[in-house]
Structure 1
C-alpha cells in the first residue's frame, strides 16, 4: 500500500481510502486503485475508479460487466456504484501484488519457472473465459494481480472502455501499447485472439521487464509460446488452450517439474522477494487506521445498461 497523493479522493463511495495499490511509476495504469475500508472498520476492499481522462459511462458498463462475471481466475467484483460522472467498483481485499510491483520487489525480471507457471495459470483462465464467450479485453501487466492462491485478472474491458469499436485506440491514455493487438489498436472489436496477444506481452514483461522483447531476450522455453502469441496476424496466433499446452510441454520441462510448477492443483510458487513484499504490504494494510473524521455515507446506486460479452 502506497500513501495517497494530494489529488486522490479520500473516499470510494461509502468507503474510506487508506492508500493507493499502485506506486507512482512510468507505467500508465488503466484505472486508479485504492485500498479502502468500510466506515465501521469491519471490512477492507480493493477499490477502483476510472482515470480522470477516461469516459465514465463506458467505464461503468465494463464495471457492471465485471460484477456479473463468475469465472475462475478473474477478480471478483462485489459492488458497483457511484454517479454517472464518477463510477466505482470494489472487490474484497486479499493479499495481492500487481505484476509490475512483483518485478520491482524481485529487482528485475522474474525466474523462468515462475513465468511459465504464471503463463499457464493465465492461459487456463483465458481458455475458460473464451469457452464461455467472454473476452477479457484488458490484459496487461497492471491487470495481473498475484496472490498466494494464484493470479487474478482485473481491468476487465479496459480496451472496450477506452474507445468504441471503429475508432483507433493506439496511443490512448491508460492502454499499454505493447499489449494492444494490432487489430484492436486499429479499432477492431476485441476478440479472444486479442487476449492471446496480450498474454504474450505480459509473459514477455514478466521474463524481460518490458512487453516488446528484442530478439534473443526471452528464455529458450518461452520463445515459442510468446512469439506465437505476439504474431501480428491474428490468424497465426494459437488459442489460449493451445498456449497452455505449449507451456506445459516446453523444451526441457520434465514430468516432475510440471507437477510442481504447472499443476493446476498446486499453489503457484512465488519467488521469495515477492512473498516478502506481499507480507510487508499486508502488514501495512492491517495496521492502517481509519481517520477520526470517517463516518458512514449513503451508497448511491449506479444505473448502467445490461451488458453481455460474446465471441460474435
Structure 2
C-alpha cells in the first residue's frame, strides 16, 4: 500500500481513492491499481485503470472479457465503468500483495515449498481457463496477488491490450519483457503456450527474484520444470496440468483453487497483509458518512 501521488485521480466513479496497491515507481505493472472506498463509506474495493501509455479501448475490451472469467483462481471483477478515454473496473477488496511486494516483505526469494504451492495453484487456475478456450495473456509477477487463502491471477489480457506486443523488440509499457514468450515479439498470436512461458517466468521470479535468472540460480528441484516452461519452442512446453503434477505430485486437480484453507505464508508476509488491512481500515474510516 503506497501513498497517492499528485497525478493520481482523487475519485474514480463513485469511489474515493485511498492508496496505490503497487509501490511508487514499480515497473512492469500492466495496470494502475488503487485501493478505494465508496463515497458513502460502505464498501472498500480495488479499482483498476489502464497503464500509462496503454490503449484504453483495448484495455476496456479485455476487462469485459475478464469479467466473464468467474472460475476460482482469478481476481473477480464485479463492475465495469468509466468512459472510452477513462475506463475502469471494480473488484472487491481483500488483503492482497502483488508478488513483488511479497518478495519485498519476505526479504528475498520465497522458499521452494511455497513456490511449489503458489505455482501449482496458478497452474490449476490456468488449466481451468484453457479448458474453456480462454488464454489469460497477462501473467507476470505483478499479476499474481497473494492473499491469506492463496494466489489469484489478475491483469487479464495485458499482452493483448498493449499495442507494443507483436513484431516489436522494445519492451511494452507496463509489461515485464521476461514474461513475454519469444514468439510474441515475432508477431505470432498469443496462445496457451505463451501463458505457460509466462507462468515459468513467474516461478523463476518467485524462486530467485528475477524473471530471467541464470539456470544455476534456480533451485535444483525447480530447474528442469522452469526450463521446460521457458522453452523457446512452444511445442516443448508442458501444459498447465503437467506443471501442477510436477510441482505438487499427488495433488488432486480441483483441490487447490477455490479452497478456503489458509496457505502457510512466511511470518513477514502475514504481517504485511495484516498491516495493509489495518491501514486500509484506518484510512477508510474518515470517509464514513460522506
TM tier relative to shorter chain:
over 0.9
1:86 corresponds in structure 2 to 86
For these two proteins, the number of residue pairs brought into alignment is 286
Q: Which residue of 2 aligns with 1:218?
A: 218
TM-score scaled by length of structure 2: 0.93
Residues 80-130 of structure 1, C-alpha deviations (whole Å, 9 max, x = no match):
100010100010001111100000001111111100110110111101110
Matching residue within 261, 264, 268 for 2:263: 268
* 2:43 equivalent in structure 1: 43
Deviation readout 1:103-158 (Å, 9 max, x if unpaired): 00011111111001101101111011101111100000000000111111000000
The separation in 1 between residues aligned to 2:6 and 2:66, in whole angstroms, is: 29
Query: Hey, what's the Cα distance between the residues in 2 that align with 1:158 and 1:169?
Result: 17
| Residue-by-residue CA offset, 1:233-271 (whole Å, 9 max, x unaligned) | 10100011111111123xxxxx8xx79xx9635532111
Classify the secondary structure of the residue corresponding to 1:232: coil
2:251 is the counterpart of 1:280:
no
- Indicate whether 1:202 and 2:202 are aligned: yes
TM (norm. structure 1) is 0.87
SS of the residue corresponding to residue 145 of structure 1 reads strand
* Structure 2 unaligned residues grouped into runs of 5+: none
Distance in 2 (alpha carbons) for counterparts of 1:28 and 1:97:
15
Q: Which residue of 2 aligns with 1:148?
A: 148
Q: CA deviation at 1:14?
A: 1.2
Give the corresponding residue for 2:284.
Answer: 289
1:121 aligned onto 2:116: no
Corresponding residue for residue 16 of structure 2: 16
Aligned to 1:252: none
Cα deviation 1:39-63 (Å, max 9, x = unaligned): 0000000000012211110011001
Shift in alpha-carbon separation, 1:291–1:54, aligned structure 2, 3 A: farther
Residues 16 and 36, structure 1, Cα contact 8 Å, conserved in 2: yes
Q: What is the CA-CA distance between 1:169 and the residue it aligns to?
A: 6.8
Q: Is the 8 A contact 1:163 1:169 kept in 2?
A: no
**Kindly tell me: are residues 290 and 263 of structure 1, through their superposed partners in 2, closer, same or farther at Cα, counting changes over 3 Å?**
closer
RMSD: 2.1
Are 1:238 and 2:233 an aligned pair? Answer: no
- Point out the more displaced range, 67-76 or 276-285: 67-76
